[in-house]
Structure 1
Amino acid sequence: MGCAVPRFSVIVPAYEVQPYLSDCLRSVLDQDFADLELIAVDDHSPDACGAIIDEAAERDPRVRAVHLAENAGLGRARNAGIRRATGDYLVFLDGDDTLAPGSLRAIADRLVRTGEPQVLVFDYARVDWTGEAVRNVRAELLREGDPEGVRQVFRLDQRPELLRLLMVAWNKAYRRDFVRAQGFAFPPGFYEDTPWTFPVLFTAESIAVLDRVCVHYRQRRRGGILRTTSRHHLDVFDQYDRVFRFLDARPELAHWRPALFQRMLDHLGVIATAPDRLPVAARAEFFRRAGAHHRRYRPYGAATPPGRARWRCLLLRLGARRAFQLLRGADRVRRGALALALAGYARLRAIALWLHYRVQLCRPLDPGLAVFAAYWHRGYACHPAAIEAKVRELAPGLRTAWITTPEYAHTLPPGVRLLHPGSAAYWTALARARFLVNNVNFTPWMRKRPGQIHLQTHHGTPLKHMGLDLRDRPAAARGMDFGELLERVDRWDYSLSANRHTTLVWERVYPSGYTTLPYGSPRDDVFQHATEDDVARLRARFGIPAGSVAVLYAPTHRDYQRRSVPRLDAERVARALGPGFTLLVRPHYFHAPGEGVGGGEAGIGNMVSSGGRVLDVSGHGRVEELCLAADALLTDYSSIMFDYANLDRPIVIHADDWDAYRAARGTYFDITAAPPGPVSRTEDELIALFTTGAWCGPRSAALRAAFRARFCPYDDGQAAERVVRRVFLGERHELLPPVVPLAERRPAPAAVRTPAAPVRTTAVPIRTAPGPVRTAPAVVRTAPAAVRAAPAGAGHDRPAEARTAPRGGAVCVSPATSPAAPPAASPAASSTSSASSTSSTASPAASPVASPATSPAYAQPPASSAYPSPACPAADPAVPLPHRSRPH
């Protein structure tokens, strides 16, 4: 540090704020006033907060990481920071807020000008989900000048109007010796700032103000602890008891009782009128206790406020809950009118369906019904399909229904009920189903009912910008209503994530109060269970010649192009690679008219070119089967690369328009700087990667290993099981199948391979708390009795021995050494292939587990990224499961 005693000790408690914590820490460490220590307290957070703090501490010696052994709450976490602080002044900052640039220097200068006061009060701005900052509406109370006799340093008696400011700890700097001398500490429970702030202001002999916004206070849309429904809001009474006891113990401060009493009434009124803040069962108790506090602490002779506030005061005093609510209701002006979506429907039919839906909403929920959908009703696909299949296996007592349009009805497996969008049965199911699962959002007309459980699976790891990050991307956000998007996000109870990068992105761009489930990608489970015979059957089905290296070409959609423009001359590439290669072409489903992602046979095995071998597989919707059949993946910026990486087969990135794509859509990291394999910028470069064998050489394997460690930590073939057991069966997270480490996984073998195992690097095991890393097959658990009874023949019937087929990766083949050409035709290619085989001789099962210091899974990000952030996440830490996406 710059000095033995730093000027500031900035204390940041962190609990379930991982999407914002990196920005918070950076806002402190990037201040132009560097004489500080940052004490970051991990309040036993179940998400990645602890890892983010440790990473910051490794990069900056001013950061002191504190990890609490158990969750203590915001107040006690701050106390832990106070005990370790050595600075002249204490500054508190919540883990989801930030310091404005230049704030600490402005605070330091003001402290010097005002003679080192015991407390300095500064201003803040609220930042909403749009990023707009609005300054505190009572900023005029912080005027500094002295033209009208306003004192530079004062006691609260001289400026009592400061009590009208927000009574929080984080808008002040406190002299540490003053705090220690007075013995100030934060209490447990909600509203812990109340028994801290009032005594501090009442006691301080010297107070100064700074008329400047120093804190950007993040106004959470949903999920902030003081905005959630909880009995803990009753803690407010205990907190005011503490303040009044403080005054009782200090007779010289007794004159503050009337002011404190009025602030208490205002505070209780806010809680009483806030919608959904108090559970129904706690409302009567709240009003009883409010009345008791009013009678206990009302100063003798205290004036009753005029007008409607008088009635509120009297009703609180009497504990008259129903009368208070009636008065509150009289203040409202109800606005709005019912709107019906009539496009494509006859008016009477639309009205009849709407009335039918309203009636169904009045009926009880069906606890045994689960409704699934994917890709805007385009068939049985993606994570919802994998989860639905696992529900039928583990919870056969549940009934499943799938929403899809008629042209994709054939994709549904036997026994799954079909729901046509917009039908009466569809609206009935949405109104009454206990479980709702989708990888996009349900219709905005759906009303989420209490007791319904909505699982949002998403449909891939995000490379491109998503959600609220599209607000400044007009090409990608055409027609998007962000307000409506957030209303749909508010319906989510669970959000599925495959890695830490995804978790950080989802929680930031889809802000709400859902629970994140970092369980992996259910649709990729098949990669760990498919056998060599399964791969052979798929290749035969697609018409891939025996011994041919199958390369799946799967480009993504371009938002900046109105029409699909081929990025690659597939026929030319196929001719250049020769007869030993087969190119499987699968364009983005946005550009496959008439074909959806749920399945369909049109186009499968259709030969497009005569000179080379190019197969059109655009009509096959189960992309997982295409991945299994392919020996390598060729893509640009499609999220399929994150799925395919689980197969541990070669991946090539063709980034011919990377700069244009990134400018139009926006991306979270540079895929050309941290790719899963070799990168080409032109068609000739792409051909050269294959003709030289670089597509599958040692460097390709090393890039893939680092990529897998970063993005595939939980994809061990048990993601769907974890989801079903947690969401549908209600099992505790410590009972869920522990994650199999990367080094111990055996994905489905590629068809064209060598007897040796593929090139692998050791990886740090990913653990789930509190269970150990699994090194042996998990014991099969049965569903609870309520859903256990299965019809005869239900469930998966594949024998256990079907999983014991030998595993291996793709052989590194150049056109000269492909199965259709003599192996000795190219000495250079032979040398490359030999090098690859040599580096693959060690069996992955025998590989030692590397330490975090040496494993590629823990490789540090580039030096240009000073601290980890959602834009450039570090490797996944060992994170317990699950966690909440809200602060304590």
Structure 2
Amino acid sequence: MPRFSVIVPAYKVQAYLSECLDSVLSQSYPDLELIAVDDCSPDACGAVIDEYAARDARVKPVHLAENQGLGRARNVGLAEATGDYLVFLDSDDTLTPDALRAVADRLKETGDPDVLVFDYARTYWDGRTVRNQLAAHLTEQGPAPFRLEDRPGLLRVLMVAWNKAYRRDFVEQHGFRFPPGYYEDTPWTFPVLLTAESLATLDRVCVHYRQRRQGSILGTTSDRHFDLFEQYDRVFAYVEERPELARWRPELFRRMVDHYATVFTRPGRLPRGSHGAFLRRARAHYRRYRVPGARLRLRHALVRFGLHRTFRVLRLAAAVRRRALKSAVKLVRAVRTGVLQLHYRVQLRLPLRSDRAVFAAREGRGDPAALEEAFRAHAPRLSTAWIARPGREQAVPAGPRRLRPGTAAYWTALARSRYLVSDAGFEGRLRKRPGQVFVQTQQGTPLGYAGLDLLERPAAARDLDLAELLRAVDQWDYVLSGNRHATSTWERVHPGGYTTLEYGLPRNDVFQRATAADVARLRASLGVPEGAVAILYAPARRAHRRTQHPLLDLERILRRLGPRFVVLARTHVPVQGTRIIDVSGHPDPAELCLASDALLTDHAPVVFDYAGLDRPIVVHTEDWAAYEAVHGVYIDLRAFPPGAVARSEDELIDVFATGDWCGSRSAQLRAAFRERFCPWDDGRAAERVVRRVVLGETELPPVVPLAERKPVPAARARSPLATVPQPSGPLPVTDSH
């Protein structure tokens, strides 16, 4: 008997069915059966199901002689199920990697409850992924299992069948089945949750809910939306037959009225001319199931009084009001912009303030933040300000004054501050005036093509405005560089009259100044377990991929490496999993480097920064050819690596499992890499910049030789599990029941 029966009805989804079935059969928890029901689909769904059944014995194909609809097709699959738990999955949706393992672990942890509710995320056709906004109701804190009265907020989570796992004995005991028609999930999920003696939650995205470009079947215009009334009749009939459930009638009543109002007001659902009939039936249900004293929202009055024409008039008035308000807002913004520009022109004619400096960074803190700290330390007479862009306030350092873009104070600072420091640039309308000093810190050491070289890579340069780039370059006075390669590259791809300061990268100064206590504090703040080996995974963004999901299966890697390893994932989309700590939104990459024991990357420039820490680096080059073709690369990390190189995920696992990642050969490669790319990173780069640019000194602090530098050591505990070879073959299958 398998642990899970995954039931997938299929109808007109040939474009998505294979991805759905693959997401089930590739689960790391293999103890399952997949019941794929061909609901007499006119396309190739039946053939696809048969192909999968021929390849994998866990697939049970079921072909219906005529189309039954989603609910009845699920019932057919339910009758074939033999697993301990039932999981329903729509054929255009997918299970996330390791979802069933997480579900199985949570079921075992909570004593096999009747129902386990897990989370989902909407995945849009343009690549966006948005997690359920009511995920807070799925917290795992508190006693578990529990009953619905202990967590009534679960009734607010999307009422669908596919975000839950159901104990099959519980479903069969109570005879739960799906009814025909649209909205078949409604008379299934409400009775199931109300009846369950034990519930549990899993705060993890287990299903990707596909949002098609043209919407789902419930978003189409059809008389079938009238099926909703029969579905709620079934819900209330179930409750009326069970007096012990009467206390839930007020909540069910509110949900029903809200559901009716949503269907009625959502454009494109009800056919033209049917709104009046829909509202009359909704009003009849309102009177039939009304619970005295139930609180309702304002728009529920539409259902209560059935004021169809009045509602249309009010909606038209509201639309007129919105348009008028939108026009007024545009006018106000235009006036405000004009006033601010006039204010800026006035400020440009006032004297410069030689004691003011403004700093900005595109992402996080980086070099500008390190320079701002050095400005205050070595030139305390200066007053510093930091541009805090909306949504990135957490990245603002604690010392400087904050400036919000688009305010009068912002334009005043740009017009009158003597020093402007940024790694990307300022406002496009900035007019650099005589006497202002612009320090461009760049984005570190270049690995992929930049500047003018991007013209040879149109896919990577799609946002490049050449005229704007050259206008910005002409404003630069100084450009920072960490090594000879960076100097020659920047001067070629950003041709201008600036002076290059090859003094090292200020953001890496902290690597020489931090202490072991700082490292311990950072690891604790990130949630790194004591004694764990923390791998910082920082892949590059790929312009040739519509989505930026990691190429590596991080959970598989961690399972193979053992419990001592954790991953700090600085990816371009949030990732979740056991022993995976998502640090994508962390504002300071230098802190993540300090907290880690090793770096795992591919084509990201962070490899040059991390080399200054003298800690192990592993490079994953599986898609190097594709990345090079799209982005272009200056340094081939396969030919001149900073450590171990893995060409595939399995090689990567072996690199860590055998200890090659921290072996003597990796140390030798890293030493040569440091000598070439970290000649100045001795902890005093920011000081050298301030002394040259602000204080006007020509005699700068000497560079500490590489052999004499003492970067703060990693916190990795010396444990046999961290270095002794681990098995790299398939893991044994264990009984998780």
Provide the TM-score with structure 2 as the length reference.
Answer: 0.53
Equivalent residue in structure 1 for 2:577, among 603, 609, 627: 609
- Which residue in the other structure is 1:527 paired with? 511
Tell me whether 1:347 sits opposite 2:331 in the alignment. Answer: no
Tell me whether 1:818 sits opposite 2:721 in the alignment. Answer: yes
Give the deviation of 1:699 after TM superposition: 1.2
Structure 1 pair 428–438 and aligned structure 2 pair: CA distance change class (3 A): same
- Which residue in the other structure is 1:461 paired with? 445
- Which residue in the other structure is 2:712 paired with? 748
Deviation per CA, 1:518-565: give whole Å up to 9, x if none: 010101100001111111111111121222111111111001112213
Equivalent residue in structure 2 for 1:499, among 473, 478, 483: 483
- Which residue in the other structure is 2:464 paired with? 480
What SS does the corresponding residue of 1:722 show, helix, strand or coil?
Answer: helix
- Which residue in the other structure is 2:615 paired with? 649
Give the deviation of 1:669 after TM superposition: 2.2
Residues in 2 aligned to 1:452 and 1:501: alpha-carbon distance in whole angstroms: 28
Equivalent residues in 2 for 1:195-594, closer than 5 Å: 346-375=333-362, 378=363, 381-588=365-572, 591=573
Deviation per CA, 1:146-185: give whole Å up to 9, x if none: xxxxxxxxxxxxxxxxxxxxxxxxxxxxxxxxxxxxxxxx
Structure 1 pair 458–827 and aligned structure 2 pair: CA distance change class (3 A): closer
Structure 1 pair 343–513 and aligned structure 2 pair: CA distance change class (3 A): farther
- Which residue in the other structure is 1:737 paired with? 701
Provide the TM-score with structure 1 as the length reference.
Answer: 0.44
Residues in 2 aligned to 1:411 and 1:564: alpha-carbon distance in whole angstroms: 23
What letter is aligned with 1:728? V
Residues in 2 aligned to 1:526 and 1:417: alpha-carbon distance in whole angstroms: 22
Structure 1 pair 345–468 and aligned structure 2 pair: CA distance change class (3 A): farther
Structure 1 pair 825–689 and aligned structure 2 pair: CA distance change class (3 A): closer
Residues in 2 aligned to 1:626 and 1:344: alpha-carbon distance in whole angstroms: 45
Residues in 1 aligned to 2:662 and 2:620: alpha-carbon distance in whole angstroms: 15
Tell me whether 1:687 sits opposite 2:653 in the alignment. Answer: yes
Residues in 1 aligned to 2:660 and 2:604: alpha-carbon distance in whole angstroms: 21
- Which residue in the other structure is 2:624 paired with? 658
Give the deviation of 1:438 after TM superposition: 0.1
What SS does the corresponding residue of 1:560 show, helix, strand or coil?
Answer: coil
Number of corresponding residues: 400
Residues in 1 aligned to 2:400 and 2:622: alpha-carbon distance in whole angstroms: 43
Conserved in 2, the CA contact under 8 Å of 1:409 and 1:418? no
Q: Structure 2 unaligned runs (5+)? A: 1-328, 729-737
Structure 1 pair 352–670 and aligned structure 2 pair: CA distance change class (3 A): same
Structure 1 pair 459–564 and aligned structure 2 pair: CA distance change class (3 A): same
- Which residue in the other structure is 1:28 paired with? none
- Which residue in the other structure is 2:41 paired with? none
What SS does the corresponding residue of 2:456 show, helix, strand or coil?
Answer: coil
Give the deviation of 1:825 after TM superposition: 8.3
Structure 1 pair 413–441 and aligned structure 2 pair: CA distance change class (3 A): closer
Structure 1 pair 716–459 and aligned structure 2 pair: CA distance change class (3 A): same
Residues in 1 aligned to 2:334 and 2:515: alpha-carbon distance in whole angstroms: 54
What SS does the corresponding residue of 2:391 show, helix, strand or coil?
Answer: helix
Structure 1 pair 567–826 and aligned structure 2 pair: CA distance change class (3 A): closer
What SS does the corresponding residue of 1:818 show, helix, strand or coil?
Answer: helix
Residues in 2 aligned to 1:713 and 1:414: alpha-carbon distance in whole angstroms: 30
Equivalent residues in 2 for 1:671-682, closer than 5 Å: 671-682=637-648
What SS does the corresponding residue of 1:346 show, helix, strand or coil?
Answer: helix
Residues in 2 aligned to 1:362 and 1:672: alpha-carbon distance in whole angstroms: 54
What letter is aligned with 1:480? L
Residues in 2 aligned to 1:747 and 1:460: alpha-carbon distance in whole angstroms: 19
Residues in 2 aligned to 1:369 and 1:656: alpha-carbon distance in whole angstroms: 48
Deviation per CA, 1:19-60: give whole Å up to 9, x if none: xxxxxxxxxxxxxxxxxxxxxxxxxxxxxxxxxxxxxxxxxx
Deviation per CA, 1:557-598: give whole Å up to 9, x if none: 00111221321111001101101111111114xx46xxxxxx
Equivalent residue in structure 1 for 2:669, among 700, 703, 728: 703
Residues in 2 aligned to 1:503 and 1:343: alpha-carbon distance in whole angstroms: 45
Equivalent residues in 2 for 1:792-811, closer than 5 Å: none
Deviation per CA, 1:479-534: give whole Å up to 9, x if none: 32112210110000000000000000000000001000001010110000111111
Deviation per CA, 1:838-873: give whole Å up to 9, x if none: xxxxxxxxxxxxxxxxxxxxxxxxxxxxxxxxxxxx
Conserved in 2, the CA contact under 8 Å of 1:548 and 1:818? no
Structure 1 pair 580–359 and aligned structure 2 pair: CA distance change class (3 A): same
Conserved in 2, the CA contact under 8 Å of 1:465 and 1:666? yes
What SS does the corresponding residue of 1:647 show, helix, strand or coil?
Answer: coil
Residues in 2 aligned to 1:416 and 1:556: alpha-carbon distance in whole angstroms: 31
Tell me whether 1:717 sits opposite 2:695 in the alignment. Answer: no
Residues in 2 aligned to 1:502 and 1:528: alpha-carbon distance in whole angstroms: 21
Deviation per CA, 1:184-220: give whole Å up to 9, x if none: xxxxxxxxxxxxxxxxxxxxxxxxxxxxxxxxxxxxx
Structure 1 pair 827–407 and aligned structure 2 pair: CA distance change class (3 A): closer
What SS does the corresponding residue of 2:635 show, helix, strand or coil?
Answer: coil
| Identity in percent | 58
Deviation per CA, 1:819-851: give whole Å up to 9, x if none: 6xxx888799xxxxxxxxxxxxxxxxxxxxxxx
Deviation per CA, 1:422-464: give whole Å up to 9, x if none: 1111111111110000000112210010000000001211000
- Which residue in the other structure is 1:760 paired with? none
Structure 1 runs of 4+ aligned residues shifted over 6 Å read 342-345, 823-828
Give the deviation of 1:609 after TM superposition: 2.4
Structure with more relative contact order (C-alpha pairs < 8 Å, separation 6 or more): 1
Tell me whether 1:640 sits opposite 2:633 in the alignment. Answer: no
Conserved in 1, the CA contact under 8 Å of 2:550 and 2:571? no
What SS does the corresponding residue of 2:392 show, helix, strand or coil?
Answer: helix
What letter is aligned with 2:438? H
What letter is aligned with 1:818? L
- Which residue in the other structure is 1:793 paired with? none
Deviation per CA, 1:289-321: give whole Å up to 9, x if none: xxxxxxxxxxxxxxxxxxxxxxxxxxxxxxxxx
Residues in 2 aligned to 1:456 and 1:344: alpha-carbon distance in whole angstroms: 36
What letter is aligned with 1:521? L
What letter is aligned with 2:558? A
Residues in 1 aligned to 2:382 and 2:559: alpha-carbon distance in whole angstroms: 52
Conserved in 2, the CA contact under 8 Å of 1:713 and 1:742? yes
Give the deviation of 1:410 after TM superposition: 4.2
Structure 1 pair 467–392 and aligned structure 2 pair: CA distance change class (3 A): same
Residues in 2 aligned to 1:728 and 1:574: alpha-carbon distance in whole angstroms: 48
What letter is aligned with 1:659? A
What SS does the corresponding residue of 1:749 show, helix, strand or coil?
Answer: coil
Residues in 2 aligned to 1:818 and 1:712: alpha-carbon distance in whole angstroms: 31
